[in-house]
Amino acid sequence: MKFNKNKSARTVAIGGVFLALSVVFLFLATIIPGIELTLFTLSSFFVAFMIIETSIQGGWIFYLASYLIAYIIIPNKGAIIPFAIFFGLYPVIKYYIESFKRIPFPIEIIIKLVLFNVIFGAGVILFKQLFLNAVQIPDVAFPIIIIGAQVFFLVYDYLLTLAVGFYLKKRPKG
């Protein structure tokens, strides 16, 4: 019984630290220009770490708590949309996809890319509807944006995998 109390206290403490760090990175992403994607990426790592420390349900709760606290604290509500629709959600999606051990790796990547493109496409449509009605983007830019997004996603997925591996090696046992 005492072991469970210690484990629960440890989980709550780690969750609180991760939540604070995640929100700090989200806040910094809204005020430091030029490195927003890096800061969103870092904030998403904590969702994955929380899944490791608790469960997939803990990851969902952490994702929602991170978003809600960031929404309450951060003045620029629109700036946290990337976390809400992709960066915070993707570690949970990645967990589900990778938990199926029978899926071959190339199929796993294709599934991830399809899901990313659905989310990315919805984000582009939302962004265009909200902000770009009066702005015209040259047609040549769209293929470049789409190719760049695919490369970014594959690098992001790889970095998230590396971060999880590093965390698993270095995390305190207890």
Give the model's confidence band at 158: pLDDT under 50 very low, under 70 low, under 90 confident, else very high: very high
Give the model's confidence band at 172: pLDDT under 50 very low, under 70 low, under 90 confident, else very high: confident
d(CA 119, CA 125): 10
Tens of pLDDT, residues 73-130: 999 998 899 999 999 999 999 999 999 888 999 999 999 999 999 999 888 777 777 7
d(CA 8, CA 17): 14
Give the per-residue pLDDT at 1: 41
Helical H segments across the chain, by residue range: 2-31, 36-53, 56-73, 81-82, 90-99, 105-131, 141-170
d(CA 139, CA 157): 28
Q: What is the pTM of this model?
A: 0.89
Give the per-residue pLDDT at 11: 86
Q: What is the mean pLDDT of residues 51-58?
A: 95
The average confidence (pLDDT) of the chain is 90
d(CA 71, CA 1): 37
Of 11-15, 33-37, 92-96, 170-174, the one with minimum mean pLDDT is 170-174
Q: Examine the pLDDT at 62 and tell me if it is beyond 60.
A: yes
d(CA 111, CA 109): 5
User: Number of helices (H) and strands (E), helices first, in the chain?
Assistant: 7, 0
Q: Examine the pLDDT at 3 and tell me if it is beyond 60.
A: no
Tokens of 9: 């206290």
Whose CA is closest to 156, among 108, 67, 76, 94?
94
Go through the domains of the chain in sequence order and give each one's CATH number: 2-170 (1.10.1760)
For 54, residues 6+ apart whose C-beta sits below 8 A from its C-beta are: 11, 15, 62
Cα 69 to chain centroid, rounded: 15
Give the per-residue pLDDT at 111: 96
Tokens of 46: 């904590």
d(CA 29, CA 38): 8
Give the per-residue pLDDT at 21: 97
